[in-house]
Each structure stands twice: as C-alpha cells, then as structure tokens.
Amino acid sequence: MTEVDRVKCACPDCVCVIPPEQAVKRDGKLYCGDACAKGHDSGSGCGHVGCKCTG
C-alpha cells in the first residue's frame, strides 16, 4: 500500500500542494488553509507565495 505524502488543495484555482495531515478538512475535502476551505468568502487568497487563488 502506498501512502500519499502530498495532495493538491481542493480549491480549483489554488496551486498549493500540502501534506494531508496539515490540511484544513471541510466537507470531505482537503484545503491548504481556511480561505480556500471557506470558498474565499472574504475575497482573500490563500496567502501562500506563488499562489494567486481567490476562489
């Protein structure tokens, strides 16, 4: 069995790849942070260097 050590954030516009154990879990999906997990409801991006997602 293979263990996954990194996954892409579930936000469609996000380019972040994160360890599953550090992800924010919401509705069965894994996100890189609260902004992505909340669908960018405040209009802010995830804040990670090199990523320009805003939902």
Ramachandran angles phi, psi of 21, nearest 5°: -70, -15
Choice between 43 and 11, residue whose per-residue pLDDT is larger: 11
Categorize the per-residue pLDDT at 42 as very low, low, confident or very high, splitting at 50, 70 and 90.
confident
The pTM of this model reads 0.88
**Residues 1-39: pLDDT tens digits?**
567 799 999 999 999 999 999 999 999 999 999 999 999
What's the pLDDT score for residue 4?
Answer: 76
What structural domains does the chain harbor? 1-55 (2.30.170.10)
Ramachandran angles phi, psi of 50, nearest 5°: 85, -5
